[in-house]
Amino acid sequence: MERALTTAWFNDEGRLTPEELQAVTFPMSRLGRRGYEEEPVQGFLSMVHAEFVRLVNERASLWQDVQRLRRRIIAGETDGDAHAVLFGKEDAHIHAVRILSTAQVTADRYVADAQAYSSRVTEEARLRRDDIMREAQQHSDMLLEEAHARAREAAVSALNVAAPPQTDRERRAAQAELAYLRTYSDVYRAHLRAYTEGILRGIEEWELKEAASVREAASVQEAASLQEAARGHTNRRSIGH
Amino acid sequence: MHGDELPLFFYSDLFIKHPEVRDLFPVSMAAQRGHLVDALVKIVSQVDSVNDLTAFLQGLGRDHRKFGAVAEHYDAVGASLLATLEHFSGPAWTPELAADWQAAYELIGSVMTAAARADEELRPPWWRGTVVSYERRAFDVSVLFVRPEPRMGYLPGQSVAIESPSRPKLWRYYSMANAPRSDGLLEFHIRLIDGGAVSMALTSSSIADTELRLGPPVGALTLSEPVSDRDILLVAGSTGLAPLKAILDQVTALPQPPRVHLFFGARTADGLYDLDSLEKMAAQHPWLTITPAVSADSKFTGETGSLPDVVARHGDWSGHDAYLAGPTEMVQETVDRLASAGMAKDQIHIEDFGWSEP
């Protein structure tokens, strides 16, 4: 650090500026030698940078104030109104501009927040939808496969049964198998119906939620515009000061 | 430099001096300030090429009609612009400088207002558009039919800026998806953008029967005139289909249509929201081929992969005229692929909004 502030970091006028401060890098100490850790140094530099910017801005603003007051005093000497000298009509306007600007920036932030929120909600809904669809697809694939396997089994056993002349016992068994398959197919259909209805309910719920979030986003925007209107009102009053 | 401070001061100064002008702007002014700076930078950087600058300013003047800008507003804006420059220049501001800026602004204002006045003879500042039908085609895509009043003349492939009643002063461009029809209806394909204020309003079912405002038709993604004898390649990603469907609609009416191959891509199969109507068209017209493609759905039975890949896989397009629309990245990559495969630049047509807000 003892070599840190060389003239190379100053500009042509020999002055240090925030930009130059931000661009400063320090040579690394050689291995095995003692040196500062980089992070705290950079952290400190960025604090210095922020403070620097603040000071430069403050100085510019003060300089403008001085200039304005100087002009006022020169002009004011003729009318002799000390109050008008310090708080001229121009100042009031600049104040109003600043207040309105702050209000506007606040309103902008509300709208941006509302938009970011709605963006997050839609994105989550989109991802959730993808999950539901994937799950449904997997489940229906599974059900189908199971049904196919069942049907294959039934067909095979039916073939086996059909070949030799049927005894009474075999016919009864085949009928029992048929009854079982009918029952199974009923159960399967009921399952599928319940599952599909479940998905439809999920989608309905999702649509309701989406509609609610749209309303919510709209009311946040409205709140932002009300807020801004209220601020605007305050501003106009303050012009009169 | 001052960054956002300058436009912030400008608009606050303008609204305090002329509160009625505030109503021409949206609640959030963040994007607006960016536009102002962009326009000023563009004007200053083009000062030496008078023709470009004049064309830019004329476009800007015409474009501002739909926002409700009138001649008196130009004086108010000029006064606030000067006040802003004076405030930020400090001691560098001199009466001579002020006079120069005043003269420059008056010139800018006169070019813009003259263009706006000339435009008044030709068309209204905006069209009233009644949403006569709303159909949700995919979870994030809706198709609207809108009746503009008065009738709107346009070239297939062009777009209009749309303002929805629930999002005042926010305008977004959408392409008509049909050539002008005898009943005058306009078809729009709207995709919900996450957090997109206008697209959210337009894809919501509550948009049915409402009245939109439509700006004048703009855009140069139109069938090249005179119609060349080359066959046509259309590459549409998602709702980029809209302008290409309008062009297809136009080709259908030609006495001898060229062969047309339309690639329609989406992430998943349900994003191919208009495939039914396209396939119906293909069944009627032997010169039309439709290839749907899906990029993130391995179960899809048709073409899978990114749209530029799918198009490239289908062979040599260098003898075609290509029209592309869709997400910027997809369009750019397809342009690169077609160009590197030997297609001449003037055979590739994409939308370039130039000065206007996308």
Q: Residue B37's pLDDT is what?
A: 85
Mean model confidence pLDDT for chain A? 74
Write the DSSP string, chain A. -TT---GGGS-TTS---HHHHHH---PPPPTTS----HHHHHHHHHHHHHHHHHHHHHHHHHHHHHHHHHHHHHHHHHH--HHHHHS-HHHHHHHHHHHHHHHHHHHHHHHHHHHHHHHHHHHHHHHHHHHHHHHHHHHHHHHHHHHHHHHHHHHHHHHHHHSSPPPHHHHHHHHHHHHHHHHHHHHHHHHHHHHHHHHHHHHHHHHHHHHHHHHHHHHHHHHHHHHHHHHHHHHHHHHT-
Distances (CA, A) of B74 to B56, B107, B168: 17, 11, 22
- Going along chain B from its start, the domains and CATH numbers come out as 5-122 (1.10.490.10), 127-214 (2.40.30.10), 231-349 (3.40.50.80)
Among A17, A71, A101, pick the best mutation site for testing chain B contact (most B Cβ within 10 A).
Answer: A101
Q: Residue A240's pLDDT is what?
A: 34
Q: Residue B245's pLDDT is what?
A: 96
Q: Residue A164's pLDDT is what?
A: 58
Is the pLDDT reported for residue B1 higher than 80? Answer: no
pLDDT tens track for B252-275:
999 889 999 999 999 988 899 999
pLDDT tens track for A12-52:
566 677 777 777 766 666 666 666 777 777 777 777 877 77
Contact flag B29-A239 (C-beta cutoff 8 Å): no
Q: Residue B152's pLDDT is what?
A: 96
Q: Residue A189's pLDDT is what?
A: 84
Does ipTM come in above 0.85? no
pLDDT band of residue A133 (cuts 50, 70, 90) is confident
CA distance A43 to chain B (A): 24
Residue B243, preceding peptide bond in cis (omega within 30° of 0):
no
Residue B32 sits at the chain A interface (C-beta within 8 Å)? no
The residue of chain B nearest to residue A236, with distances taken between CA atoms, is B16
pLDDT tens track for A186-195:
878 888 888 8
Residues of chain B in contact with residue A218, where contact means CB-CB under 8 angstroms, are: 166
Q: Residue A234's pLDDT is what?
A: 41
Residues of chain B in contact with residue A214, where contact means CB-CB under 8 angstroms, are: 200, 204
Q: Residue B180's pLDDT is what?
A: 96
Is the pLDDT reported for residue A232 higher than 50? Answer: no
Residues of chain B in contact with residue A225, where contact means CB-CB under 8 angstroms, are: 27
Tell me how far apart the alpha carbons of residues A9 and A15 are, in angstroms, rounded to a whole number: 9
Is the pLDDT reported for residue A150 higher than 90? Answer: no
Q: Residue B281's pLDDT is what?
A: 94
Domain boundaries, chain A: 1-86, 89-241
pLDDT band of residue A6 (cuts 50, 70, 90) is very low
Is the pLDDT reported for residue A137 higher than 60? Answer: yes
pLDDT band of residue B243 (cuts 50, 70, 90) is very high
Is the pLDDT reported for residue A236 higher than 60? Answer: no
Residue B8 sits at the chain A interface (C-beta within 8 Å)? yes
Name the percent of chain A lying above pLDDT 90.
5
Size of interface A-B (CB pairs under 8 A): 73
Q: Cα A164 vs. chain centroid, distance in angstroms?
A: 72
Name the percent of chain B lying above pLDDT 90.
65
Is the pLDDT reported for residue B127 higher than 60? Answer: yes
More confident residue, A16 or A199: A199
Tell me how far apart the alpha carbons of residues B308 and B340 are, in angstroms, rounded to a whole number: 12
Q: Residue A55's pLDDT is what?
A: 83
Q: Residue A212's pLDDT is what?
A: 79
Instruction: Average the pLDDT over B177-196 and give the result.
Output: 93
Q: Residue B112's pLDDT is what?
A: 94
Contact flag A224-B8 (C-beta cutoff 8 Å): no
pLDDT band of residue B326 (cuts 50, 70, 90) is very high
Residue A107 sits at the chain B interface (C-beta within 8 Å)? yes
Out of A97, A211, A218, name the one closest to residue B12 (CB).
A97
pLDDT band of residue B184 (cuts 50, 70, 90) is very high
Listed ranges A92-96, A201-205, B157-161; the one with the highest mean pLDDT: B157-161
Please, which residues 36-95 of chain B have a Cβ atom closer than 8 Å to chain A? 87, 90-91
Contact flag A97-B16 (C-beta cutoff 8 Å): yes
Residues in chain A: 241
Q: Residue A238's pLDDT is what?
A: 35
Instruction: Average the pLDDT over B196-222 and give the result.
Output: 90
Out of A93, A122, A221, name the one closest to residue B16 (CB).
A93
CA distance B257 to chain A (A): 40
Contact flag B30-A108 (C-beta cutoff 8 Å): yes
Out of A108, A120, A214, name the one closest to residue B29 (CB).
A108
Is the pLDDT reported for residue B2 higher than 80? Answer: no
Contact flag B195-A218 (C-beta cutoff 8 Å): no
